[in-house]
């Protein structure tokens, strides 16, 4: 009906004005009040003309409230407007809703794809913030800022979902928002059960958001699970709010006598309006301070003083600009091309003959500017690793509760920045290592007490920068690695040929072998010998390596070292004949020119070199790639001691040309699977050098 549509539009316009107009400041109060009063009267007149008596009655009462309000009652007016507009929306929906129960909204591209894309981006940011703040709130139930932050995030998602007619998302967000409203008004105690429900609601919303994203990209969206049981759990919390004690909320206002029922007071939804395209994000966690997340069976949590918000956060957020990642990658590529072009100009032989000091100054200035541009563009790819650590925090909480092992997660260095592509690649390795620590490393509470340890176990997660790499440490105070048990299992699986010549550190690294596991039984957490193999393969794929330190009965520490970015590589430029190759610097241990008596042939199969009492295999690079060298005598060439696939070997080249930070170039689909080649790079003189994959070289070698 036209009258119904016009009335709906006027109510939505009124709801928008309530959200947008600022009645808290004295400036412009009178003008805003007059505009709101006129909008309410318009709704009243339209409702009376359309026969919506309930809507007209509520609008008349709201008009009377506005007429009786002066500037001294601004706060009261804001609350009255929110409640009144929400009541108008409910009354209108009740008068126009069909008898049948509403069905969950179908995700259709008939809606604006751009708005849906913005919704997916915004919702995922808010859901990530909800998870982090919920874990912090569980440890400090009196943290009012955490409650308000979670509330705002759900409220924003609800508004966006209502605007886009995503009714299931709106319904779940609205109900959990009501629970949080009870909590922030001291009507409901924040317990582990409440946090469980909040996190389950966030997980459900993630599924819904992923369904929207799948539809946007032309994929079939998986069916969302039934949210009715989840809503029942949420409403059970609302139906029996637990009264806070005075000690649990020292700053909460005392309840007034004859106060209205808290459920009736807070169950009234906020005005459901179309949120702006970029709503304010939930307050981020403070940077620079250690974050502790405790997980275990439900129980009272110690009081932790909430950290003060970092200064300048609002200012930083106001300056943030969202850029499509494709454009960002293109900018980085072009900056790399500019550096290459600048280097080619600087080393041009025609310019080398000119002795102009002015030209040299200009070239030096160009070099500084291009280097700074490349550095800045590369930094735009960096994101804090804290978002990855937050996923681990949730996993520790859930798994420790499931296993009955109370565990405290200590996080530091979450502000450390790393390339966004590496963050995603590190997700699985960190997940497997934390699962391994909880299942194999951490003892049960009884076992820890018997060993004289605190029943609350500890897992540490630390990140820092070190010499162009990012270092991530995963430590625990559990039982540590049992070298004898690992060796026995390795002998059983025929993984070790000479056990008397293997060091303890090499024994520890056997846990990364495929199918290796010391678990007595297979569980849904670990025990199949798959996880740690995935860890090693993924870290090697990232051009990194793993170090292990362990002390029996005291715990173990796993150290992951990966480069800050995958777009640039530090390498040694070497020459073989007329060709140039780049050896990744992180795999190089040392270089030397051997003596004739140090070269051996073992069993007529492999060429070996003796270095400090150890025999290392020699890989002649010219044979691998069919290149004619300057000399085939190792004593006239150079041997580079490198490491790949966990073993050391010597790479024979003609000469060392220098060290260079090279921008990695893909070789395309045609040459991407060549063994021993990881990519290409353009040198300063314009020549192309192949970047070596040492793990692939050692695999292909007849060692």
pLDDT digits (tens, 9 = 90+) for 467-491: 667 899 999 999 888 888 888 888 8
User: What token pair was written down for 268?
Assistant: 């009234």
Q: Apex CA 93: angle with CA 89 and CA 99, to 5°? A: 165
Q: Read out DSSP for 464-514?
A: EEETTEEEEEEEE-SS---HHHHHHHHHHTT--S-GGG--HHHHHGGGGST
- DSSP 8-class letter at 187: S
100: which DSSP letter? S
Inform me whether the pLDDT recorded for 581 exceeds 90.
yes
Q: Which of 15-19, 73-77, 595-599 has the lowest mean pLDDT?
A: 73-77
Q: What average pLDDT does the segment 76-99 reach?
A: 71
Residue whose C-alpha is closest to residue 102's, from 170, 47, 200, 163: 170
pLDDT for the residue numbered 100: 43
Nearest to 571 by CA among 585, 588, 586, 587: 585
CB half-sphere exposure, 102, CA atoms < 13 A: 13
Structure tokens at 571: 């390498």
The predicted pLDDT at position 534 comes to 80
Residue 425: is its pLDDT beyond 60? yes
Whether 266 contacts 181, CB under 8 Å: yes
Residues of the chain with pLDDT > 70, as a percent, come to: 78
Asked if 584 and 672 touch (Cβ cutoff 8 Å), the reply is no
Mean pLDDT of 216-224: 76
Question: What confidence tier does 24 reach under pLDDT thresholds 50, 70, 90?
Answer: low
Confidence of residue 518 (pLDDT cuts 50, 70, 90): low
Decide if pLDDT at 246 tops 70.
no
Which class for 56: exposed (0-12), middle (13-18), buried (19 or more C-beta within 10 A)? buried
Nearest to residue 457, comparing CAs of 435, 446, 442, 441? 442
What Cα–Cα distance (Å) separates residue 627 from each residue in 568, 580, 631, 640, 703? 26, 11, 11, 18, 20
What kind of architecture, by CATH, is found in domain 102-239?
A: Up-down Bundle (1.20)
Mean pLDDT of 585-592: 86
Task: Summarize pLDDT for 651-679 with one digit per residue, the tens.
Answer: 999 999 988 877 788 787 777 778 888 88
Give the pairing type, strands 457-466 and 407-412.
Answer: parallel
Residue 520 confidence (pLDDT)? 54
The least confident of 211-215, 268-272, 360-364 is: 268-272
The residue extents of the domains of the chain are 2-96, 102-239, 326-380, 383-563, 568-700
2-96 — its CATH code? 1.20.120
Q: Phi and psi for 210 in degrees, rounded to 5? A: -65, -35
User: Architecture of domain 383-563 in CATH?
Assistant: 2-Layer Sandwich (3.30)
**Residue 668 confidence (pLDDT):** 77
Looking at the domain 326-380, which fold is it?
Answer: Helix Hairpins (1.10.287)
What pLDDT score was predicted for residue 463? 92
**Residue range 27-40: mean pLDDT, rounded:** 73
Q: Among all chains, which residue has been given the structure tokens 């041009």?
A: 348
pLDDT (mean) for 160-173: 84
- Predicted confidence at residue 178, as pLDDT, reads 87
Confidence band of 557 (pLDDT split at 50, 70, 90): very high
Contact 398, 134 (CB under 8 A): no
User: Long-range CB contacts (< 8 A, 24+ apart) of 543-552?
Assistant: 543/569, 543/584, 543/586, 543/587, 544/469, 544/586, 545/586, 545/643, 546/509, 546/512, 548/481, 548/505, 548/508, 548/509, 550/480, 550/481, 550/508, 551/480, 552/479, 552/480, 552/481, 552/482
**Any residues with CB less than 8 A from the CB of 413 and at least 6 apart, and which?**
385, 462, 463, 464
pLDDT of residue 26: 60
Q: How confident is the model at residue 1 (pLDDT cuts 50, 70, 90)?
A: low
**Which range in 579-583, 597-601, 680-684 is most confidently predicted, on average pLDDT?**
579-583
> How far is residue 626's CA from residue 515's CA, in Å, rounded to a whole number?
37
Of 8-17, 357-366, 413-422, the one with minimum mean pLDDT is: 8-17
Left, alpha or beta for 258 (phi > 0: left; psi -120 to 50: alpha)? left
Instruction: Indicate whether 249 pLDDT > 70.
Output: no
* Range of lowest pLDDT (330-334, 578-582, 693-697): 693-697
pLDDT at 596 over 90: no
Q: 2-16, 102-116, 405-419: lowest mean pLDDT where?
A: 102-116
For residues 387 and 390, give the distance between their C-alpha atoms in angstroms, rounded to a whole number: 5
Res 369: pLDDT: 92
Confidence of residue 2 (pLDDT cuts 50, 70, 90): low
Q: Which pLDDT belongs to residue 461?
A: 92
pLDDT band of 395, cuts 50, 70, 90: confident
Q: What mean pLDDT is reported for the chain?
A: 76
Assigned token pair, 123: 């919702």
2-96 and 568-700: identical CATH topology? no
Sign of torsion over alpha carbons 609, 614, 617, 621: negative
Whether 529 shows a pLDDT value over 60: the answer reads no
pLDDT at 71 over 70: no
Residue 576 in this model has a pLDDT that exceeds 90? yes
Residue 380 pLDDT greater than 80, yes or no:
yes
- Taking the alpha carbons of 561, 567, 571, 577 in that order, is the dihedral positive or negative? positive
* Element (DSSP H or E) covering residue 617: strand 614-620
Class of domain 568-700: mainly beta
Higher pLDDT, 30 or 271: 30
CB count in 10 Å sphere of residue 497: 8
Taking 50 as the threshold, does the pLDDT of residue 329 lie above it? yes
Check whether 270 has a pLDDT greater than 70.
no
Q: Give the integer Cα–Cα distance in Å for 289 and 286.
A: 7
pLDDT beyond 80 at 104: no
More confident residue, 370 or 495: 370
Per-residue pLDDT band at 558 (split at 50, 70, 90): very high
412-446: b (≥16 Cβ within 10 Å) or e: bbbebbbbebbbebbeebbbbbbbbbbbbbbbebe
More confident residue, 643 or 554: 554
Q: What is the pLDDT of residue 645?
A: 63
pLDDT value at residue 165: 79
């Amino acid at each position: 009906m036209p009258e119904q549509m016009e009335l709906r539009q006027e109510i939505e316009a009124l709801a928008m004005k309530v959200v947008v107009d600022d009645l808290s400041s004295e400036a412009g109060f009178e003008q805003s009040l007059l505009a709101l009063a006129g909008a309410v009267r318009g709704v009243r007149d339209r409702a009376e003309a359309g026969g919506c008596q309930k809507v007209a009655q509520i609008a008349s009462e709201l008009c009377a409230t506005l007429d009786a309000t002066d500037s001294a009652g601004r706060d009261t007016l804001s609350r009255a407007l929110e409640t009144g507009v929400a009541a108008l929306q409910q009354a209108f929906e009740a008068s126009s809703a069909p008898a049948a129960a509403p069905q969950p909204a179908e995700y259709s591209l008939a809606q604006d794809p751009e708005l849906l894309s913005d919704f997916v981006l915004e919702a995922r940011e808010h859901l990530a913030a909800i998870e982090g703040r919920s874990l912090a709130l569980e440890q400090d139930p009196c943290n009012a800022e955490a409650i308000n932050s979670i509330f705002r995030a759900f409220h924003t998602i609800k508004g966006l979902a209502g605007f886009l007619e995503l009714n299931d998302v709106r319904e779940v967000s609205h109900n959990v928002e009501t629970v949080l409203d009870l909590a922030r008004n001291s009507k409901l105690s924040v317990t582990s059960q409440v946090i469980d429900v909040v996190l389950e609601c966030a997980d459900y919303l993630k599924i819904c958001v992923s369904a929207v994203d799948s539809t946007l990209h032309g994929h079939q969206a998986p069916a969302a699970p039934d949210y009715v049981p989840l809503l029942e759990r949420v409403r059970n919390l609302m139906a029996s709010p637990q009264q806070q004690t005075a000690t649990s909320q020292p700053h909460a206002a005392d309840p007034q006598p004859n106060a209205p029922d808290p459920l009736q007071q807070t169950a009234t939804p906020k005005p459901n309006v179309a949120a702006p395209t970029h709503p304010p994000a939930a307050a981020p966690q403070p940077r620079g301070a250690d974050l502790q997340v405790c997980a275990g069976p439900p129980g009272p949590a110690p009081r932790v003083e909430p950290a003060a918000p970092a200064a300048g956060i609002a200012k930083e957020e106001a300056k943030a600009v969202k850029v499509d990642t494709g454009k960002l990658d293109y900018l980085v590529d072009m900056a790399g091309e500019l550096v290459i072009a600048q280097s080619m100009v600087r080393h041009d032989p025609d310019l080398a003959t000119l002795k102009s000091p002015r030209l040299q100054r200009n070239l030096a200035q160009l070099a500084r500017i291009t280097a700074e541009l490349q550095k800045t563009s590369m930094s735009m790819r960096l994101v804090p690793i804290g978002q990855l650590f937050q996923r681990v925090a949730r996993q520790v909480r859930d798994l420790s509760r499931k296993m009955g092992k109370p565990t405290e997660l200590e996080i530091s260095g979450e502000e450390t920045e790393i390339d966004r592509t590496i963050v995603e690649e590190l997700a699985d390795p960190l997940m497997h290592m934390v699962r391994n620590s909880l299942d194999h490393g951490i003892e049960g509470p009884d076992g820890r007490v018997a060993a004289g340890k605190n029943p609350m176990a500890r897992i540490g997660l630390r990140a820092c920068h070190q010499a162009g790499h990012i270092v991530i440490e995963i430590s625990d105070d559990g039982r540590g690695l049992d070298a004898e048990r690992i060796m026995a299992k390795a002998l059983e699986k025929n993984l070790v040929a000479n056990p008397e010549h293997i060091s303890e550190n090499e024994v520890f690294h056997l846990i990364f072998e495929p199918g290796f596991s010391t678990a007595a039984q297979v569980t849904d957490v670990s025990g199949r010998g798959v996880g740690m193999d995935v860890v090693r393969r993924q870290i090697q794929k990232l051009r990194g390596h793993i170090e292990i330190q362990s002390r029996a009965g005291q715990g173990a520490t796993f150290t992951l070292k990966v480069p800050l970015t995958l777009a640039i590589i530090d390498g040694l430029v070497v020459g073989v004949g007329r060709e140039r190759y780049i050896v990744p610097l992180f795999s190089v241990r040392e270089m030397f020119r051997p003596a004739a008596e140090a070269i051996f042939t073992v069993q007529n199969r492999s060429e070996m070199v003796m270095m400090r009492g150890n025999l290392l295999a020699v890989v002649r690079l010219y044979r691998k790639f069919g290149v004619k060298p300057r000399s085939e005598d190792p004593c006239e060439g150079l041997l580079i001691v490198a490491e790949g696939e966990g073993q050391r070997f010597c790479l024979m080249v003609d000469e060392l040309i220098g060290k260079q930070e090279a921008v990695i170039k893909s070789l395309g689909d045609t040459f991407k699977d060549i063994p021993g080649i990881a990519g290409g790079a353009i040198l300063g003189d314009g020549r192309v050098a192949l970047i070596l994959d040492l793990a692939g070289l050692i695999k292909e070698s007849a060692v």
